[in-house]
Structures are given as structure tokens and as C-alpha cells.
Amino acid sequence: MNKKITTLLVSILIPLAVGQISAMLTQNGLSSFSQINMPALMPPFFIFPIVWTILYILMGISSYIVFASHSHYKKSALQWYFVQLFLNFMWSIIFFNLQNYLASFILLLVLIACIIIMIVQFYRVKPIAAYLQIPYLLWCIFAAYLNFQIIILN
């Protein structure tokens, strides 16, 4: 297989794997989550894996674009990428398993800040890599709204 295709596939598989591991680790927390009061704008549960799969694929494509570049900003951009990916992973555990909605909200605000920094860093490398992350940023802002509403309602 072509090295570029292999690198692209690995780049896509990394965030998908992080998301899958996170989902597997939070399975037990989902049952109690369904018992809490939900915000009015809460989407149906089947929407979340669809949206996250798309977002993880976009993350992988963006990270590949940055990784394949020759920019001297590449290293910093990829560091922010992995920081936000780790925070993304941790949010699910804190929210679903620990059911600490306040801590998960604070973490989500930090995650949003890191996503913004990552987008700026990606833009310095290749603007298209940054643009592909805008849906992720918007989804996380929406998630922050949902998280905040869950704090208020519960």
C-alpha cells in the first residue's frame, strides 16, 4: 500500500480508536445517565455515535494534512492535537463513569480552549486542516451547553 494512504488511514484510525476505547470504558455509566433529567435540546442518543464518528474522521484527516506538511509549525500543531484528543477522552470518563458533571463541564471548557488553539495552530500549517475542525468546535460548544444544563437540572 502507498505510504501516504497508510499514513492517512493510521491518522484516521487514531482518533477513531480513542473514541472507541472511550465508549467501551463508559458503557456502564450510560445506564445511570439515562436516569437523569435531560436538557430540552438533547438530541436522541443514536445521534451521538454518528456525529462523533464523523468528527473523529475529520480529526484524522486534519492531523494527516498537518503531519504530511513541511511546516515548521507542524510539531506544535500536532502537540495541541494530541492534548485535545486526550482531554476529549477524559471528558467521557469524568462525565459518564464518575458522573461528576461540574468537573466534566470545566474540563469541557478547557477542551474548547485547546481546540481553538489547535485550530489556530492547524491554520498556520494548512488552513484546510483548521477548517475541518470547525464542526468539532461547534459540537463541543453544544456539548458544553448540554453539560451545563445537566448541572442545572440535576
Domain boundary assignment for the chain: 3-27+43-153
Look at the pTM and tell me if it is higher than 0.75: yes
| DSSP secondary structure code for residue 31 in this structure | H
The answer for residues whose C-beta is within 8 angstroms of residue 23's C-beta and 6 or more apart is 49, 92
Q: Give 13-44 pLDDT, tens digit per residue.
A: 999 999 999 999 998 877 777 789 999 999 99
Q: How far apart are the first and last CA of the chain?
A: 52
Digit-coded pLDDT (tens) for 29-88: 777 777 899 999 999 999 999 999 999 999 999 999 999 999 999 999 999 999 999 999
Architecture of domain 3-27+43-153: Up-down Bundle (1.20)
Instruction: Tell me the pLDDT tens digit for each residue of 103-139.
Output: 999 999 999 999 999 999 999 999 999 999 999 999 9
Cell numbers for 153, please give them.
437540572
Give residue 87's pLDDT: 98
Tell me how far apart the alpha carbons of residues 29 and 132 are, in angstroms, rounded to a whole number. 30
pLDDT at position 24 is 94
